[in-house]
Structure 1
Amino acid sequence: MREAAFIKKNKERWSNFETALKNIKPLVPDELADLYLQVINDLSFSQTYYPKSKTTIYLNDLARKAHFSIYKNKKENSGRIIDFWKYELPFLFRGYQKDLLLSFIIFLVSVAIGFFSVYQNIDFTRIILGDNYVDTTIENIKNGDPAGIYHSSSAIEMFITITLNNIRVGFNAFVSGILTPAVPIALLFYNGVMLGAFDGFFIQHEVGIRANSIIWIHGVFEIFVIVVCGSAGIILGKSVLFPKTFSRLQSIKKGFYDGMKICFSTLPFFICAGFLESFVSRYSTMPLAVAFSIIIVSLCIIVFYYIIYPRQIEKKINQYDSKKEI
């Protein structure tokens, strides 16, 4: 689209948003949020196709004013946090669905490799997970409690240790992208192989259903958000290698900013995973129906927030655009 046509198509919306920011013509919160998301979307488009134009400068300034003007008191700051989780993050996810899919496929392939490697050589599990962990788990299996390791220490100690470790793993998967996408891909691959070997080990010992019913209580959140952090690392790595119409520095800044937001979005889920693993998974003999109910609810939450809801946000924006054009 030519820049003139882009301006003509959207200038009325920009004007409405600027007027609302000045409180000349106040809007209801939902309408203001819609306008804000549209301006952010237009800014991203303008930065891609007209990176050095006055239009990009104007939109960037308009977005900056929004941060300082819309939420300028304590009550509005609370609203800002809600809007960040309710609108900004899902809208950002929608633009990076392909990177999330790539991260998921890499992880899934590596899980399969780890799983089948155990079937080729049972000692592969010891190489990946260590002798002490394997020996302890074998002993638990003999005692009829294959997931007994989850109540081997105090709940609070486990919660702090596990949560911090998971956040570290996720953050490393993101920041490693500065060294090109190959590094977060390698980290995803390694973690996937570990999971596949772990699962294959339990299935070979004929306790797969019971073990998985406990592992995936926390594993749904833990594994999926590591995949999300891996996608953030890929986004950062791509910004280093493929700046497109940006200067390399501009591209890296955008990749880091977007990747950091995506990585930050995983914090509540890492905390939930740590809580479930420390306080719920320790009841490793709970009924299967209870365990699988928790797993299904967790999976629905993750899929909705990272995949379904971003599509709904995009659809809502497109409908708003269509109304404006009529």
Structure 2
Amino acid sequence: MREVAFIKQNKEKWLSFENAIFNNNFKDPDELASNYIQLINDLAYAQTYYPKSKVITYLNQLAAKAFQKIYKTKRQDTNRIIGFWKTEVPLICYQYRKFIYVAFIIFFAFTFIGAISAANDGEFVRSILGDDYVDMTLENIEAGDPVAVYKSGSNWGSFIGITINNLRVGIIAFVLGVFLGIGTLYIMFKNCIMLGSFQYFFYEKQVFWESVRGIWIHGAMEIFAIVIECAAGLILGASILFPATYSRYTSFKLGAKTGIKILISTFPFTFFAGFLEGFITRYSNTMPNWLSVGIILITLGIISFYYLVYPYKVQKQITQTPVPLTT
């Protein structure tokens, strides 16, 4: 069968199924499961005979949405909260993976701009971080402890204060996405410029390695989580700008719901990053290199796997194995 004929034959069925998924029109769970299995069969057919077709992308996304609906209505013993992070969020991240990639590209671009600006303007770091902070850091460098700022205050006080601040930044980055994504980009620009100039400052003072050992023990997970939160903000903005076949209001509701789920998924990582900054980072200059580097690589590996690798594994599993609904 030609691809055009295949699409024409099944188009109405797919659109009807998509409408039912988004509007909760399935009264019978068995009907939902049956339609899902048909969709998986169509996807398998398309992958076999039209491997380069855009219809595969569409069916993949629709299958992911359908699986989430089935997963929510299945009677099972698995804890709902565990299922949220184990299945629902990874499927969302797979579906909106392009936004995550774009967020990282923007992150690296803005951070690079910050570093280049600091390299070409001797006063740029002071204009960004402030004279008091720069002078304090210079004193710490002269005292042989460039990241001494992370040792001030009590463990619990630092942990709570830092975590609340990071949660606030992430929530603001997401909420400001309502301004067509421009607000989110502003938050990214502001924080990335600060990060890039700050790291170049340490490089210029020849204590770059010492700063990396200290800052990125907690920063690997903290910064990564903020980038994901910004991706959620971009999704919110795009839902308003590009409603596709939905009304703008319906698209906005879907974008907000999706973005909130991604935002919430970052909270455990933000809490753990705050714990590291409050309890571990303060010992960075006394711990061996292998330990500090190990913590950085492990934390970066965990959060990278969850948002960049694991979604592909979950998506592959549900597209290859139909999930019948048990009642």
TM bucket (normalised to shorter chain) is 0.7 to 0.9
Q: Name the residue aligned to 1:25.
A: none
Q: Name the residue aligned to 1:54.
A: none
Deviation string 1:135-164 (CA, Å, 9 cap, x unpaired) is: 111111001111111111111111111100
1:129 Cα deviation from its structure 2 partner:
1.0
Higher relative contact order (CA 8 A, sep 6+): 2
Residue aligned with 1:138, SS = helix
Deviation string 1:59-87 (CA, Å, 9 cap, x unpaired) is: 99x9779646636xxxx4x6111111100
Q: Name the residue aligned to 1:107.
A: 107
Matches within 5 A, 1:1-326: 1-2=7-8, 4=10, 7=13, 18-19=29-30, 67=72, 70=75, 76=77, 79-285=79-285, 286-321=287-322
- Partners of 1:272 and 1:184 lie apart in 2 by 23
Cα 1:3–1:153 change in 2 (3 A) is farther
1:181 Cα deviation from its structure 2 partner:
1.2
Cα 1:65–1:291 change in 2 (3 A) is closer
Cα 1:132–1:64 change in 2 (3 A) is same
Task: Tell me whether 311-320 or 85-94 shows the greater mean CA deviation.
Answer: 311-320
1:288 Cα deviation from its structure 2 partner:
1.5
Cα 1:280–1:6 change in 2 (3 A) is farther
Cα 1:63–1:148 change in 2 (3 A) is closer
Contact 2:176 2:184 (C-alpha < 8 Å) held by counterparts: yes
**Which amino acid is the alignment partner of residue 183 of structure 1?**
G
Matched pairs, number: 285
1:21 Cα deviation from its structure 2 partner:
10
Residue aligned with 1:98, SS = helix
Residue aligned with 1:246, SS = coil
Residue aligned with 2:206, SS = coil
Deviation string 1:201-226 (CA, Å, 9 cap, x unpaired) is: 00000000011111000001110111
- Partners of 1:86 and 1:63 lie apart in 2 by 12
- Partners of 2:308 and 2:185 lie apart in 1 by 21
Contact 1:103 1:185 (C-alpha < 8 Å) held by counterparts: no
The TM-score with structure 1 as length reference comes to: 0.79
Residue aligned with 1:282, SS = helix
- Partners of 1:102 and 1:252 lie apart in 2 by 20
**Which amino acid is the alignment partner of residue 231 of structure 2?**
S
1:241 Cα deviation from its structure 2 partner:
1.1
What is the RMSD computed on CA atoms of the aligned residues?
3.3
1:103 Cα deviation from its structure 2 partner:
0.7
- Partners of 2:307 and 2:85 lie apart in 1 by 11
- Partners of 2:68 and 2:279 lie apart in 1 by 43
Contact 1:221 1:273 (C-alpha < 8 Å) held by counterparts: yes
Gaps of 5+ in 1: 23-33, 50-58
**Which amino acid is the alignment partner of residue 199 of structure 2?**
D
- Partners of 1:197 and 1:288 lie apart in 2 by 24
Gaps of 5+ in 2: 1-6, 44-54, 60-64
Cα 1:155–1:117 change in 2 (3 A) is same
Cα 1:171–1:94 change in 2 (3 A) is same
**Which amino acid is the alignment partner of residue 289 of structure 2?**
L
Q: Which runs of 4+ in 1 moved over 2 A?
A: 1-8, 17-22, 62-71
Deviation string 1:221-267 (CA, Å, 9 cap, x unpaired) is: 11011100111000000111111100011000000000000011100
- Partners of 2:90 and 2:12 lie apart in 1 by 24
Cα 1:227–1:3 change in 2 (3 A) is farther
